[in-house]
Chains A and B, each alone.
Chain A
Amino acid sequence: MAVHEASRTGTEPTPTPGPRSGSPRSGPRVRAAWVSTVVRLGLAVVWAWAGLAKIGDPAAAEQAVRAYRILPESLVPAFGFGLPFLELGLAVLLVAGLGTRIAAGLSALLLLVYIGSIASVWARGISIDCGCFGGGGAVAASHTEYWQEILRDCGFLVLSAWLLWRPQSVLAADGLLSVGGAETRQSPRTSG
């Protein structure tokens, strides 16, 4: 991953390990970087939407958490108030492309927690709206949408998994800092 970064520092080939085949300006790696950019921004939009939808009404966010009947009452406010901001934080990191792989890993972890919580509610026969994008709380049994909610979260999980696998993307702070890889050198036209 660091091969291009190293090669720009001198004319001599360096022994740094990493994939070295193909031109840096084209080919599958660049295509993957563009796919990762789209995925990264897509996941950012998801988190931003989820977070913003919840911050307007703290009491509703609190109740959405309470309705899962998983956390003790003493922890309900902290999760109800804090989770939307965690989601917004992830959105900011993903938009900036800063620490993409960590942000993707935390996204995946958070989504697994969400999927597990929804499954747990479903298994216990409680009827709630997941409150994933605002709202939440008890609903009539006929209005539950657990499977759609879980399927949707699984879709987001796939996005996170892609970014874990291919965190390098264009238009990313990681590229400027040369942490995630050499994308700034790969696509100077777009990331400059």
Chain B
Amino acid sequence: MSMSNKNDVAPRAARDRLREERAREAARSRRVRQLSVVGGVLAVLVAAVVIGILVQSSRSTGYDAAKDAPAATVGSSRLLIPVGAANASAPLMTVYEDPRCPACGEFEKAFHTTVNSLVAQKKLRIQYHVVSFIDRHTGGTGSRNAADALACAQNAGLFHDYHDVLYANQPDETASTWNDKSVLLGLAKQVPGLDTPAFRGCVNDSGFGNWVSAVQKDFDKSGFESTPTVLLNGVSAYPTYKGEDISPANFQKWVDALDKG
């Protein structure tokens, strides 16, 4: 290039023009590079987001009530486990419980005797939502493992007994005890007839994993935010029912009143 020749006697104006031309050329190619980087960056991000949405939606769908729900579950998507009197006129208690939730453990400790006796007298029906969100906050897989084991027990027709055994033996919320499925299988030995090869296989394979996810998703969308959430004929009953504190005696009274009404 002529620019390398220092002895060039080209008129000053021509040299300046050339210099400007070079500067413009450099600026232009820099702009092109910058624009292609902008384009590249946006392409990377858009691709990441689109792929992410596609992958995650495919991972999070796929619940099919007909093949994923345990036997004898109820509700439009068969996400609820029914316990107690078949007669639809009996008062209905709806319970959302996470197996790892300490407040649920407290509720069960205080109320399971009253509740079970009302169920035995056919005065009360229950629908359980077995939710499993503690794992999200606390880490581990204890909630999901236990929820899945409860579904396996429901499939064997022994949900309620196993449910009571699990809450009676609930580990500390932060403990990882139920990450180990063999602990859940060990507790199943306390329920006569539950510890079968089919049940063990079901627990070990997380046989109702899709259902457990679907139940949790249903809870996510329910607007209820904590467990236990307890409803009596659709009205919140925990920790208070129509302004009255819950207690075994009061609970009995409320159910009796609804039963007569």
Contact = CB atoms under 8 A, between A and B. Distances in A.
Interface stretch (B43-51, B64-72, B120-128, B243-251): B43-51
B19 A15 contact: yes
A17 to B, nearest CB: 9
Nearest to A173: B37
B34 A179 contact: yes
B57 to A, nearest CB: 6
Contacts of A16: 23, 26
Contacts, number: 117
A178 interface: yes
A116 B33 CA distance: 34
B93 to A, nearest CB: 22
B44 A92 contact: yes
Interface string A27-65: 000000000000000000000000000010111111100
B175 interface: no
Interface string A74-91: 000110111011101110
Contacts of A89: 44-45, 47-49
B3 A55 contact: no
B73 interface: no
B30 interface: yes
B76 interface: no
Given A55-B56, A90-B45, A177-B33, A135 B137 contact: yes
Contacts of A145: none
A58 B56 contact: yes
A174 interface: yes
Given A12-B3, A81-B57, A82-B53, A137 B133 contact: yes
B45 A60 contact: no
Contact of A177 (B19, B20, B37): B37
B49 A129 contact: no
A82 B49 CA distance: 5
B136 A60 contact: yes
Contacts of A179: 30, 33-34, 37
A150 interface: no
A6 interface: yes
Interface stretch (B163-171, B191-199, B220-228): B220-228
B101 to A, nearest CB: 12
B15 to A, nearest CB: 10
A102 B55 CA distance: 26
A10 B5 CA distance: 11
A140 interface: yes
B236 to A, nearest CB: 15
A84 B52 contact: yes
A82 B52 contact: yes
A104 to B, nearest CB: 11
8 contacts: A14-B19, A14-B22, A58-B57, A78-B53, A89-B49, A99-B41, A135-B137, A179-B34
Given A16-B23, A82-B52, 18 more contacts: A12-B3, A58-B60, A59-B220, A60-B136, A62-B60, A63-B136, A77-B56, A82-B49, A82-B50, A86-B45, A89-B44, A98-B41, A102-B37, A134-B136, A137-B137, A177-B33, A177-B37, A179-B34
